[in-house]
Amino acid sequence: MPLYKTITVNPYTKVYIWKITESEKELSLNIDLTNKCQLRMNGMKSELHRRGFLSIRHLMGLAGYVDSDLFYDEAGKPHLKDGNHISITHSYHFTGIIVSQKDEVGIDIEKQRDKITLIGHKFTPMEAYADIKKAKELVKKLTIIWGAKESLYKIYATHGLSFMDHIYIHDFKNTDNTTRGIISYDGRTSAYNITFLEFEEFTCVYAIKKEA
């Protein structure tokens, strides 16, 4: 079973990351999907997406849940029936979840790709990184910022929220693995703790809402 990494964030929050190496048939073993989720998976044209979908159910099992414990609200945000918080991510052959008994959480895994430098201006002020001369370092920095904003967006789950205009990520050094984030939207402001790590040219970012 390729559980790639488990991170105990605090006594009530854990991250689970899976590296997909199994076939769809192997991943289907011992997984009981609801009719709704089975139909959703059947509609996925990509085998990798279906394998990712199933691997997430294995991660849920490690956290003590089955598929029927999960539901989505109108904004597409996942929830657990017992009231605990969950966030889900899938990128190529990695999937991940974060589960917390206490705090709102978000997680994102992204492959580090050069093309992020071409779209960076859409989600962050690129002039802030003019001093980064090495292309690879810029890719890593932008991937962390994107993942952080994506994680916060997953927590807030509100249509109209803009990565550029409403989500702010505090700057960080290339030796750091944590930073902070702010969402300011519709007259309300909320703060988040953000942690990031890299593995096999992927970046994982997870965010936890700070108590008021």
Task: Give residue-wise pLDDT tens across range 169-184.
Answer: 999 998 999 999 999 9
Task: Tell me the residue range of the domain where 196 lies.
Answer: 108-209
The position carrying tokens 């605090």 is: 10
In this prediction, residue 2 carries a pLDDT of 86
Cα 187 to chain center, whole Å?
Answer: 26
- Asked if residue 61 has pLDDT above 70, the reply is yes
In this prediction, residue 211 carries a pLDDT of 78
CATH code of residue 13: 3.90.470.20
Domain boundary among 52, 70, 102: 102
User: pTM score, two decimals?
Assistant: 0.96
Same domain? 144 vs 191: yes
Same domain? 131 vs 75: no
In this prediction, residue 212 carries a pLDDT of 63
Cα 82 to chain center, whole Å?
Answer: 21
